[in-house]
């Protein structure tokens, strides 16, 4: 893979995504970065920020090559309505989903080696009468994937989640042996395929305080988690746990680990975001395409101000680039 070609969708046009793409375009990259977006939106945001931007037409049949700093290739998807920073308009919901659809189709066709997504606003898409629960679910359905796993990553730490956006009272019932088998299988496969880890070492958190205290604080570790871990260990997997979550995230445990599997959203992500917020990426495992994203939302209050931090988008791009190279064997 001489020059990977990576698609980027700017997300909600009224948010900070378009201007983050403009900021990203000011730098040199070891890939051809292609914004799947309305070029007039990108140019408008560049003008508002006082940054140079030359929008280059994208042709899939041309050889992939990086754009010079201050330039950005663009595959045109036209806005439905004019967009103002910070002002949501449900008329553009179809545009947002159109950019995702075109970028995903490009990945499936082999035109793009990976997809990086800036944040969308779920509420305004639903206000338009379009059922939408998020990027992950959209991509899962569009690619026909059986099971996907959310993993956030920053330098020195990767945290995958057994359950994601559930009320805490529902988490224990959701954690079943079949679910854990699916989650762990996807996690191990993608750590090998996309990160070049031959035998990944994964720390697995227990669900309950002190990992259940030998059944005195809950039996999920005994009845559900441990039997599944033992099945994978019998087949050679390097899984450690279930470990108490309050001590798992210490140097003693993490220094030899490749990833952590947390049982629920707020068990693992507060530590990850404390360590690397603004320099972390959201990675969707289990898709037939590579997809990474930012660790933040649309930040409507910052849109158009020039104060948005491009760090997380840079991190997402770097992970996408690294994953594409591992998958291609380069």
| Spatial CA neighbour of 17 closest among 43, 39, 45 | 45
Q: What are the binding residues for a divalent metal cation?
A: 165, 210, 265
Distance of alpha carbon 265 from alpha carbon 285, whole angstroms: 16
For the record, the structure tokens of 112 come out as 């793009």
Residue 165 CA: distances (Å) to CA of 109, 111, 182: 31, 32, 18
| DSSP states along 7-56 | EEE--STTSSHHHHHHHHTTS--SSEEEEEE-HHHHHHHHHHHT---EEE
Distance of alpha carbon 63 from alpha carbon 65, whole angstroms: 6
Backbone angles phi, psi at 270, to 5 degrees: -60, -40
Total residues belonging to the chain: 330
Instruction: Scan for tokens 């779920």, then name that residue.
Output: 122
**196 φ/ψ sector (left φ>0, alpha ψ -120 to 50, else beta):** left
Q: What are the binding residues?
A: 135-136, 165, 210, 265, 273, 282, 291
For the record, the structure tokens of 206 come out as 């227990």
* Coil/strand/helix, residue 133: coil
Residue 94 CA: distances (Å) to CA of 77, 125, 143, 300: 10, 8, 19, 19
The separation between CA 250 and the C-alpha centre of its own chain, rounded to angstroms, equals 24
Report the run of H or E that residue 186 belongs to, with start and end.
helix 177-195
Q: What are the binding residues for substrate?
A: 135-136, 273, 282, 291
For the record, the structure tokens of 237 come out as 């997997």
All residues at 6 or more sequence positions from 179 whose CB lies less than 8 Å from its CB, including other chains: 162, 163
């Amino acid at each position: 893979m001489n020059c990977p070609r990576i698609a980027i969708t700017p997300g909600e046009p009224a948010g900070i995504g378009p201007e983050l793409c403009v900021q990203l375009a000011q730098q040199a990259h070891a890939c051809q970065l292609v914004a799947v977006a309305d070029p007039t939106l990108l140019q408008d945001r560049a003008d508002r920020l006082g940054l140079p931007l030359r929008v280059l037409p994208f042709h899939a049949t041309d050889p992939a090559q990086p754009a010079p700093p201050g330039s950005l290739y663009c595959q045109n998807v036209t806005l439905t309505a004019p967009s103002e920073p910070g002002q949501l308009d449900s008329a553009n919901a179809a545009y947002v989903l159109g950019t995702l659809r075109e970028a995903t189709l490009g990945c499936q066709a082999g035109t793009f080696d990976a997809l990086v997504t800036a944040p969308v606003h779920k509420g305004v898409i639903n206000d338009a009468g379009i059922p939408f629960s998020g990027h992950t679910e959209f991509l899962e359905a569009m690619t026909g994937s059986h099971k996907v796993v959310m993993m956030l990553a920053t330098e020195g730490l990767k945290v995958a989640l057994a359950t994601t956006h559930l009320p805490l009272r529902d988490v224990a019932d959701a954690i079943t042996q079949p679910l854990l088998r699916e989650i762990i299988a996807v996690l191990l496969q993608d750590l090998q395929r996309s990160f070049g880890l031959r035998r990944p070492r994964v720390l697995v958190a227990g669900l309950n305080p002190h990992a259940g205290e030998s059944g005195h604080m809950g039996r999920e570790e005994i009845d559900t988690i441990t039997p599944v871990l033992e099945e994978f260990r019998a087949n050679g997997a390097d899984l450690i746990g279930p470990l108490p979550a309050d001590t798992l995230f210490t140097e003693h445990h993490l220094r030899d680990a490749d990833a952590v599997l947390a049982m629920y959203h707020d068990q693992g992500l507060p530590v990850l975001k404390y360590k690397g917020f603004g320099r972390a990426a959201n990675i969707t495992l289990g898709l037939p395409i590579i997809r990474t994203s930012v660790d933040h939302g649309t930040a409507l209050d910052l849109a158009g101000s020039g104060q948005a931090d491009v760090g997380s988008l840079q991190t997402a791009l770097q992970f996408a680039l690294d994953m594409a190279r591992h998958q291609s064997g380069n």
